[in-house]
Amino acid sequence: MAILMDSGEGSAQFRRYARPAPAVLSHAPPGLPCCLRSPYSPTPWPSISGAWPFSGDIDRSEHVAAKQWVYVGAKAGKGPSQSEKQEITFACENLINTFFLPKFLPEIRPTEFNYPVAIYGKWHGKMYRFITRYRSDRLDAISPEFDAPFTRLEYVSRNCFGLSYMRHTDQWHRLFERLSLDEALTTIKEMLHFHPSC
User: What's the count of helices (H) and strands (E) in the chain, helices before strands?
Assistant: 3, 7
Q: Residue 14 has what pLDDT?
A: 43
Is the pLDDT score of 4 beyond 50? Answer: no
**pLDDT, tens digit, 9 for 90 and up, residues 120-143:** 999 999 999 999 999 999 888 888
Asked whether the beta carbons of 151 and 167 are under 8 A apart, the reply is no
Task: Report helix, strand or coil for 161.
Answer: strand
3-state secondary structure of 142: coil
Q: Is the dihedral of CA 77, 82, 83, 87 positive or negative?
A: positive
Looking at residue 34, what is its pLDDT?
A: 46
Give tens-digit pLDDT for 43-88: 444 444 455 544 454 455 454 445 665 545 445 568 999 999 999 9
- Tell me which of 7-21, 82-96, 99-113 is least confident: 7-21
pTM over 0.75? The answer is no
Closest CA to 148 of 115, 181, 125: 115
Confidence of residue 183 (pLDDT cuts 50, 70, 90): very high
pLDDT value of residue 173: 96
- Cβ atoms of 20 and 34 within 8 Å: the answer is no
Q: Please answer whether residues 43 and 52 qualify as being in contact, where contact means their C-beta atoms are separated by less than 8 angstroms.
A: no
SS3 (DSSP) at 146? strand
Instruction: Output the pLDDT for position 78.
Output: 83
